[in-house]
A = this chain, B = another copy of it.
Amino acid sequence: MKRLTTEDVARIAGVSQSTVSRVLNDYPYIKKNTREKVLAVIEELGFTRDEIARSLVEKRTKSIGLILGSISNPFFAETAEVIIERAQELKYDVIVYNTGHKDENLEQAINLLIGKRVDGIILTSVSKNYTEKIKKLHKNGFPVLLYNSSLDIEDVNFIVMDNNKGARLAVQHLLGLGHERIAKISGPSKYLATYERTMGYKQELADNGYAIDGDLIFNSEFSYDEIYSFTKKLLKKKDRPTAIIAASDQMALAVLGAASSLDMKIPDDLSVVGFDDIRLASNEFIGLTTISQKMDQMSLTALEKLIYLIEHKEEAAESIQIFLEPELMIRRTTGPAPKQE
């Protein structure tokens, strides 16, 4: 079928095309009679304005891009839900990209989104390799906000938790329970967020007089299978750790799966701490002890700051750099260290 245009509406309503456009835009000085006639025709025809043409003229699309590491990870899914719903309320729609944590995909996603002329982009899981690219976008005045990632430079907007402190909280908690061999499943160190979680872990251990054992640290991609099999191997060792801190709740679930496959009891045989506090963590059947990122707040703020950047480009003098406080959520997956045989 041929799509209807304002021209068609105008012809049938017996007015000019520009008048139809004015009605659509709630232009105030239109005779009531004219407005009603036009509206009636629009209704009758089921006309929907072409937002693409409108975007071309107005030089804005009312779309934003959301680039996620992996949307099947509840951390990203829950983030996406908050962002999408709030965006919708503010009359923006959201184009979602899934990078699978691959740098090439990140770069490609940014380029495609810019081609699609989105008004701004929220970016998760940005690796340090992309500092230059982000900086350039920022300098060009293009609204970009890093979510749960930061870069060590001034010219960039981000919202992130104090990851170092979060990791320290986790370590403190486990030390307090008597654990002395605590492993760390880290994400890739190219991400500042995961890098800092590992640093916090090391520093807190050091501050308490413990040596760092490299065998207890796993620097992996975010692959369920890799984490799963590393954990199994680790837990079968003679000097296995009695506790594991994972760099995300998703990773913690892989750890729990691996431990369960070895018939280990949680937390009697092994304590596990995650990071994020996805909704499932507080489900009593799971009861995952974790470091809360205050995801709802973080994602809501991210969206609102981005929209602010979009709608107040001129005034935006300073970069937006927000740090959130981590919070330890103690649940069922951590307990006293088992008496060593």
Residues of A within 8 A of B (CB): 1, 3, 48-53, 55-56, 59, 61, 63, 70-72, 74, 76-78, 80-81, 84-85, 88, 93-98, 100, 105, 109, 111-117, 140-141, 224, 253-254, 256-261, 266, 279-280, 283-287
Interchain CB contact under 8 A, A260 and B279: no
Complex Cα spacing A261 to B61, Å:
48
Other-chain residue from B1, B94, B285 in contact with A260 (beta carbon distance below 8 A): B285
Contacts of A72 in B (CB 8 A): 74, 77-78, 80-81, 279
What is the chain B residue whose CB lies nearest that of A140?
B1
Contacts of A81 in B (CB 8 A): 70-72, 98
Other-chain residue from B51, B100, B260, B286 in contact with A85 (beta carbon distance below 8 A): B100
Complex Cα spacing A78 to B73, Å:
8
Interchain CB contact under 8 A, A256 and B283: yes
Question: 13 interchain pairs (CB within 8 A)?
Answer: A50-B115, A51-B116, A52-B61, A52-B116, A70-B81, A71-B80, A71-B84, A72-B81, A74-B77, A88-B98, A93-B116, A253-B280, A256-B284
Complex Cα spacing A93 to B256, Å:
35
Contacts of A71 in B (CB 8 A): 71, 77, 80-81, 84
What is the chain B residue whose CB lies nearest that of A61?
B52
Complex Cα spacing A224 to B97, Å:
28
Complex Cα spacing A49 to B111, Å:
10
Complex Cα spacing A51 to B211, Å:
56
Contacts of A285 in B (CB 8 A): 253, 256-257, 259-260, 266, 286
What is the chain B residue whose CB lies nearest that of A79?
B72
Complex Cα spacing A53 to B54, Å:
10
Contacts of A70 in B (CB 8 A): 81
Complex Cα spacing A117 to B250, Å:
36
Contacts of A59 in B (CB 8 A): 3
Top 6 nearest A-B pairs by Cβ distance?
A77-B77, A256-B285, A260-B284, A257-B283, A260-B285, A72-B81
Q: A80-B96, A253-B280 are in contact. Are A48 and B260 (CB under 8 A)?
A: no
Interchain CB contact under 8 A, A253 and B77: no
Interchain CB contact under 8 A, A93 and B95: yes
Other-chain residue from B3, B261, B280 in contact with A284 (beta carbon distance below 8 A): B261
Complex Cα spacing A113 to B280, Å:
32
Complex Cα spacing A51 to B95, Å:
14
What is the chain B residue whose CB lies nearest that of A287?
B260
Interchain CB contact under 8 A, B286 and A286: yes
What is the chain B residue whose CB lies nearest that of A259?
B285
Other-chain residue from B80, B266, B283 in contact with A253 (beta carbon distance below 8 A): B283
Chain B proximity of A135: nearest CB distance (Å)? 14
Complex Cα spacing A51 to B279, Å:
38
Interchain CB contact under 8 A, A85 and B98: yes
Complex Cα spacing A109 to B52, Å:
16
Of A63, A84, A283, most buried by chain B (CB within 10 Å of CB) is A283
Interchain CB contact under 8 A, A51 and B117: yes
